[in-house]
Amino acid sequence: MKFETVHKTTLPKIGFGTWEIGGGSHPDPTKDTASLMALRAALEVGYTHFDTAETYADGHSEELLGRALREMNTPREKVFITTKVSPEHLAYDDVLKSCEKSLRRLRMDYVDLYLIHWPSMRMNLPEAFRALNKLVRDGKVRHLGVSNFKLKQLQKSQEVSETPIITNQVPYRLPDSSYVENGVIEYCQQNDILITAYSPVKFRSMRVNKTLGEIAKSHSATPFQIALAWLVMQPRVITIPMSYNPQHIRENFEAADIELSDVEMRQLATAWEK
């Protein structure tokens, strides 16, 4: 596994996302068994970064993540836990309440990283960060970050955060270059901010892209592994794929060890251009 270190904080290049663990926007108890099996498989493979949010299955994802860690007897200090506060909870008191609820669901004393999940047109960013800064001072949150923030919003967050913003979690994948074009990727890379790429293998065309397929074959890898490797070969980029399938969970983890050449990196970056 490769790692990235920013502001004395080290994260694996590939972590485990929990969207759809325990349900979608609402809890779905029929998914609990499969969800717990997936989380246990990820822990057995060696994942140490787990990303969740209060909106994932309306908090049930956090509950299941905490349960899986306890059932696997995973020492708290051996894992890095990220969760997120929703845009409708960015008033000062609401941020504090949301964090407390997440901690109760996880059954933890602190989270390693707390993100604003989405920016809101109505949000008072200084007010939200007044609460976030307090959570850091109180030891309930170790690090702060944001998600889905454009460049100006990210820069404003840096101004009002008392501690370094260590990540901006954004949709970044082959062939989606929207956060390259808006300047966020380059800015993060130049300012010691991790890009956490979510939904990293979303495009259906991935299986049939000829260039991707040929590169995958040359590395005895799957196209999805190559797509992940392309992300994590880039400086300051980490990613959080999710799967219920134990084989895919392992393959995603092992993608961090694939070494792509500069030529292959360029070929993949342009593989969808017409």
Residue ranges of domains in the chain, CATH in brackets: 10-203+235-243 (3.20.20.100)
Residue-wise pLDDT for 1-58, tens only, equals 999 999 999 999 999 999 999 999 999 999 999 999 999 999 999 999 999 999 999 9
User: How many angstroms separate the Cα of 258 from the Cα of each of 44, 222, 228, 251?
Assistant: 20, 11, 9, 11
Q: For the chain, give the number of residues.
A: 274
Given a contact cutoff of 8 angstroms between Cβ atoms, the answer to whether 149 and 140 are in contact is no
Provide the whole-model pTM.
0.96
- The pLDDT of residue 112 is above 80: yes
Residue-wise pLDDT for 159-193, tens only, equals 999 999 999 999 999 998 899 999 999 999 999 99
Residue 149: CA count within 13 A, CB half-sphere: 27
| Gap between the Cα atoms of 149 and 116, Å rounded | 9
The residues annotated as belonging to the active site are 56
Query: Within its chain, how far is the Cα of 236 from the centroid?
Result: 13
Q: Which residues pair with 83 in a beta bridge?
A: 114
| Gap between the Cα atoms of 51 and 128, Å rounded | 21
Token output for 62: 């956090």
Q: Between helices 223-232 and 262-269, what is the axis angle to 10°?
A: 110
Q: Could you give phi then psi for residue 144, rounded to 5 degrees? A: -115, 150
Closest CA to 248 of 31, 10, 45: 45
Residue 71: CA count within 13 A, CB half-sphere: 13
Cis omega (within 30 of 0) for bond into 175: yes
